[in-house]
Amino acid sequence: QVCKYLSRWYNVEIEVDPQVSDHYAYTFTVREEPLEEILRLISKTNPVSYSFDGKRRIFIYSVGESHR
């Protein structure tokens, strides 16, 4: 749910590794924070990481898993 919201808010496509999507839940309010700051906070609180592909697409994956 959070990634769907962030996708719309920041006009990006977010692809979440299926191993991550059902394991973590978040509640927060977005005001004017940059998307990368939000992703950085998420990755500090849970064992996930993220990467950008340069085309407004973001991949979120478990730490230790391979990514694209």
In a domain, 54, yes or no: no
In a domain, 13, yes or no: yes
In a domain, 20, yes or no: yes
Q: Are 38 and 46 in contact (CB under 8 A)?
A: no
In a domain, 52, yes or no: no
Q: Are 57 and 12 in contact (CB under 8 A)?
A: yes
pTM over 0.85: no
In a domain, 31, yes or no: yes
Residues 58, 13: Cα–Cα separation, whole Å: 6
| pLDDT tens per residue, range 14-66 | 998 887 766 767 777 778 889 999 899 888 888 889 999 888 899 999 886 55
Expressed as residue numbers, the domain containing 19 is 1-35
Q: Count how many domains the chain has.
A: 1
- Widest distance between CA atoms in the chain: 32
